[in-house]
Chains A and B, each alone.
Chain A
Amino acid sequence: MSTTSAVTRTVLRAEGFSCPSCVAKIEKRVGQIDGVARVKVHFASARIEIDHAPSVPVDDLVAAVAKAGYVAAPVTF
């Protein structure tokens, strides 16, 4: 995780994407959170890259992905 002055990048790993339409769903859900600047979902490797203000708790991001119907967890490695 690299931290710059105002933006933190968090990478989540999700399990079980099945169709490209879930990409849009997750990007929309997570993008609605206040303080999230950018969401990029990698379909093949099931990664979700999120740039957000440090004030946004990672748990909220995980919860937003869960609302879209997918289980995700932050990665260390």
Chain B
Amino acid sequence: MSGVLIVLALLADRLLVSSLPGDVAMVAAAVVAGAPIAVKAVNALRASVIGIDLLVAVASIGAIAIGEFWEAAAVTFLFAVGHALETATLNKTRSALAALVAVAPDGAVVLRDGVQVEVPAGQVGTGETVLVKNGAKVPVDGVVIGGTGALDEASITGESIPVEKSAGDQVFAGTVSRGGFLRVRATGVGSDTTLARIIHRVEEAQDAKAETQLFMDRFSAWYTPAIMVLALVAGVISGDIVLGLTLLVIGCPGALVISIPVSIVAGIGRAAKDGILIKGGEYLETSARISAVAVDKTGTLTRGRPQLTDVVVLDPGLDRAQVLTWAARGEAGSEHPLARTILDAATADGLGVQGLPEHTEPFPGKGITATAEGHRILIGNLALLEQFGIADTEAAARTAEELSQAGRTPMIVAVDDRVVGVVAVADEIRRDAARMVAELHAAGVRKVVMLTGDARLVAEAVGTATGVDEVRAGLLPEDKLEAILELQREGHTVAMVGDGVNDAPALATADIGVAMGAAGSAVAVETADIALMGDNLLRLPEAISLARRTVANMRQNITIAVTTVAFLLLGVLLGGVTMAIGMLVHEVSVLVVIVNAMRLLRARKYRSDDPGASARIRPPADRSVPQAA
């Protein structure tokens, strides 16, 4: 709006003989951009903070008073642009919390005197029995006292594969039942749950971050009063009001006010073209100092989608294709998340299964049975084979154990009374994961640590394949957070890369939180300071090097701006620099600063070699991300 008015004013100056319309438009522009700044300045004064807002407000009023409309408009406009970024960042913060809170369960089904009662999740008493049905959210932290079922714990542990639960197992509020029926004794309710602790950690971390002062605030706390006093003293001593006002206007650091935002906007713009969303200037500054990177496993180093890894044939009369076909037939009517993986693998091998089995029965915690073409198919673990009295399971047990050791999830397949083979699935490691780790090391990161809630065997397998420096497995969200704090105590500036709700506390605590945008949950993307779109891991080392260049650029700009203002003030005091000359030099310095920042926008040689780059890019709603070609 104010920009439009400035353009109109310039046009009016060019086209019209009289300068009046142009001046009017300039003043209007200054007022439009300046009003919010003036309001901020007054609010800050009330809170006894002297900010740069005040200087800008006073100087632009002064500038208008002595007829320097263009400078008033320019300063206020550039300043308004600088502030727009901050506001956007703050709003993002809020929606992150909103998304986290959305994970929280609303109601609970409690057994009271043998009757099922629906109550709000916060009103369950500790020790009461809660029922968790298929598809429902677990309302409390607790222990399973009866029944079996599969829980999707992605919101707490980040595991992509639902976990089978039976008596004695721990369950968490905010996880979702994917089958079965559980009776749970509540041990933690409301704010005494792991989920609540995650939410609080995120809130606290964000409040702490909001309190960190920006460079501009620190600078202006002494700069503003200094300039004002200088202008006042100079005006009083010389008895020359114009001199005082000239000092005020010239001291209003036009180039300085834009030097930081313009570098940052250029850096952030460059990053956005490459599919890296950086949410604010301070994160760029911090990113330039990153020395340790903590990486979540599921969805970051791995795809977060289980893939068929093995088909082991244990029946000499059959081949691989037949075992896979039996497995696919058995799973055709199953709603288990791993069924899809097996069916997709069969289809990919041209072994597409027609129709559904006549009968499918899930045994939560064990597997499923299905009847197809007159045969009974069992797919599951040893407990399932025992239940159906299958003999001769030794080879199957051994194979399953070996596959588990290799970090995979095995499922034994039996047809009628014979074990025919074992199929195994595992989360697929991203093709560029190892390269990302190597490039991070090359970019000056000293330590790359993998953090995961997953089992150690699975974690070690991925760690070995990707070449990370350290593997920490079996972590709850709070442990991840602790790992980050530990790295920080060692003196590292830590970046955390993650994608799940469970990573949110660690993302918020790390100096820089990085979310995998394409695979990441909305919570992670919002909590993070940097979001990587398009699922390309190699963007991370790129982001770090871009941050370093941007910070260097910013320092150059600040130097240019401060030096210019210093010389001009000196010139005014010694006489010889008039308002007009001062303004001219000011504009030139602003241009120099802008041109310098533009260097960041020059495209570097762009490498795209992510063979698995996903075509389904889901940028967070309400943003359009220029997709790197």
Contacts and interface: CB of A to CB of B under 8 A. Distances in A.
B90 A77 contact: no
A1 B191 contact: yes
Closest 9 CB pairs of A and B: A44-B210, A76-B122, A45-B203, A77-B104, A77-B196, A44-B206, A42-B207, A44-B207, A21-B43
Interface stretch (B22-30, B93-101, B581-589): B93-101
A23 to B, nearest CB: 9
B173 A77 contact: yes
Contacts of B207: 42-45, 47
**Chain A contact residues: helix, strand, loop or mixed:** loop
Contacts of B40: 19
Contact of A1 (B43, B101, B190, B203): B190
Nearest to A42: B207
Given A43-B207, A44-B207, A47-B203, A13 B90 contact: no
B198 to A, nearest CB: 9
B49 to A, nearest CB: 10
Interface string B551-590: 0000000000000000000000000000000000000000
A60 interface: no
B205 to A, nearest CB: 9
A44 B90 contact: yes
B195 interface: yes
B370 interface: no
Interface residues of B, number: 29
B209 interface: yes
Interface string B187-211: 0001101011001001110110110
A69 interface: no
A71 interface: no
Interface of A: 1, 11, 13, 15-17, 19-21, 24, 42-47, 75-77
Given A1-B191, A46-B94, A76-B196, 6 more contacts: A21-B43, A42-B207, A46-B97, A77-B101, A77-B191, A77-B195
B263 to A, nearest CB: 25
A77 B209 CA distance: 22
A59 B531 CA distance: 39
**Chain B contact residues: helix, strand, loop or mixed:** helix
Given A77-B190, A77-B195, A16 B94 contact: yes
Contact of A77 (B46, B98, B193): B193
A46 B90 CA distance: 10
A26 B101 CA distance: 22
A20 B47 contact: yes
B121 interface: yes
A69 B454 CA distance: 46
B43 A20 contact: yes
B221 to A, nearest CB: 16
Contact of A44 (B46, B196, B209): B209
23 contacts: A1-B191, A11-B191, A13-B101, A19-B43, A20-B43, A43-B207, A43-B210, A44-B90, A45-B94, A45-B97, A45-B204, A45-B207, A46-B94, A46-B97, A47-B207, A76-B190, A76-B191, A76-B196, A77-B173, A77-B190, A77-B191, A77-B193, A77-B196
User: Which one of A20, A42, A43, A45 has the greatest number of beta carbons of chain B within 10 Å?
Assistant: A45
Contacts of B97: 13, 45-46
A62 to B, nearest CB: 16
A15 B47 CA distance: 23
A33 B34 CA distance: 37
Contacts of B104: 76-77
A10 to B, nearest CB: 11
Contacts of A17: 94
A75 B190 CA distance: 9
B190 A45 contact: no
Contacts of B209: 44
Contacts of B168: none
Contact of B199 (A43, A46, A77): A77
Contacts of B43: 19-21
User: Which one of A15, A24, A42 has the greatest number of beta carbons of chain B within 10 Å?
Assistant: A42
Contacts of B199: 77
Contact of B206 (A15, A24, A45): A45
Interface string B500-525: 00000000000000000000000000
B127 interface: no
A18 to B, nearest CB: 8
B135 interface: no
A1 B189 CA distance: 10
B203 A42 contact: yes
B248 to A, nearest CB: 26
B192 to A, nearest CB: 9
B626 interface: no
A21 B44 CA distance: 9
Contacts of B196: 76-77
B612 interface: no
Interface in B269-323: none
B120 A76 contact: yes
A40 B191 CA distance: 18
